[in-house]
Amino acid sequence: MTKINLIFTFDYELPMGSCRSYQKGIFEPSAALLNLARDQNVKIVLFADICSAIVFKEWDYEGYYKPFASQLKEAISGGHEVQLHLHPGWTDSTFKNGKYYPSGSNTLSNFRDVPYPGNIQGIIESGVRELNEICSDRENYKCIAYRGGGYNMSPDTDLILTNLSKNGIIYDSSVIKGYYFKSELQETDYRKMPRKANWIIPLEGPMNSTAEKGIIEIPVASMPATPWLRLNRIMKKVRNKNLYKKLKYDNTGSGNSGKKSNLAGSIKSIVYAPLILSFDHLHLDLPTLNQILLYQLKIYKEEDEITLCVNSHPKTMGKYHLEQMSRFVDVLRTRYKDSVNICGYRDLSF
């Protein structure tokens, strides 16, 4: 039977559009997540949106930067990992009267022609440096894995991958196979990826090419959403509308992924929307999560060992989501036992 190394990753970030409370938006749900991880004795990985910390170091040191850094140090002290996540739009956003206003520069490519250190190279360098400094209180910590903001790695994939590698990044976890998203701010297309679970991306890209040397892809586990699954999702939302309102976690914030660019882009984003192994969504109940995992075992049955991610966001996770995570961990340990190894990037041996 195929062995799965499963990495529980969480994008540690504020709602990008706006947020009335940093505590509700990131720190309280993350504290609850760390408590659950401790109680369940499960290792997690926080992909920290370090660009937000860099700007808030000047905007609001006591209210945001200090608790941000403190919580990451707490995570490392608890045996967890902190890795690199970049939402570069923070670097040219503004802050007035205690509120932040996003610029709309969602991708690293928006900064390609900006003079150094405001360009792609400088943003990656400063992000890695700041994150490593925060995390190095108890050890000489080095982040080795990356996830692009909005899962985006294009265009300028070659510049992004090359500079990530120069700064010590070995693994990428930005790919969700089958995922397509296009808005006025960005386009991400992972519909034609290699058939293998994991592959080495050459530094010159593109993301679906393979090489002997480069950055190792550890994708987020997903499965195609069949017409029945889509219908079932709609039925759940309609049937459980009032229940969902009660279960939804109110982070007092809003996103900033941009409006869909056109009708064709909107249709593609819906049609090519796979089910993601995640605790974020209310329709992804325990049977569905298990179905996604079984799908991985089916399509990669010829491989002896594979490594995949679960990906969620503390900013969306309330009591219900944490309960789902706890139950999922229990299922992994009782049903799959040694076939599934919950680990971090530092535990891998590619």
pLDDT of residue 266: 54
Domain 3-347 has CATH 3.40.50.10780: no
CA dihedral 210, 181, 220, 169 (to 10 degrees): 60
As a whole number, mean pLDDT of residues 142-166 equals: 97
pLDDT single digits (tens) 48-74: 999 999 999 999 999 999 999 999 999
pTM of the model: 0.95
Report the C-alpha gap between 110 and 221 in whole angstroms. Answer: 28
Q: Where are the domains positioned within the chain?
A: 3-347
Tokens encoding 340: 């599934």
Farthest CA pair distance, the chain: 57
- Give 147's Cβ-side CA count (13 Å radius): 30
Q: Considering only CA atoms, which of 252, 323, 237, 226 is closest in space to residue 24?
A: 252
CA angle 81, 83, 89 (to 5 degrees): 145
In this predicted model, which residue has the larger pLDDT, 266 or 128?
128
Residue ranges in 5-145 assigned as alpha helix (H): 22, 28-40, 50-59, 66-77, 120-135
pLDDT single digits (tens) 156-175: 999 999 999 999 999 999 99
Tokens encoding 77: 């002290």
pLDDT single digits (tens) 286-308: 999 999 999 999 999 999 999 99
Supply the DSSP symbol for 282: T
Q: Which residues contact 134 (CB under 8 A, 6 or more apart)?
A: 53, 69, 72, 73, 82
Query: Using 50, 70 and 90 to split pLDDT, how confident is the model at 192?
Result: very high
**Quick check: helix, strand or coil at residue 36?**
helix
pLDDT single digits (tens) 15-60: 988 999 999 999 999 999 999 999 999 999 999 999 999 999 999 9
pLDDT of residue 257: 67
- Helices (H) and strands (E) counted in the chain, each on its own, are 11, 17
Report the C-alpha gap between 123 and 144 in whole angstroms. Answer: 16
Q: Which residues contact 148 (CB under 8 A, 6 or more apart)?
A: 85, 86, 108, 160, 172, 174
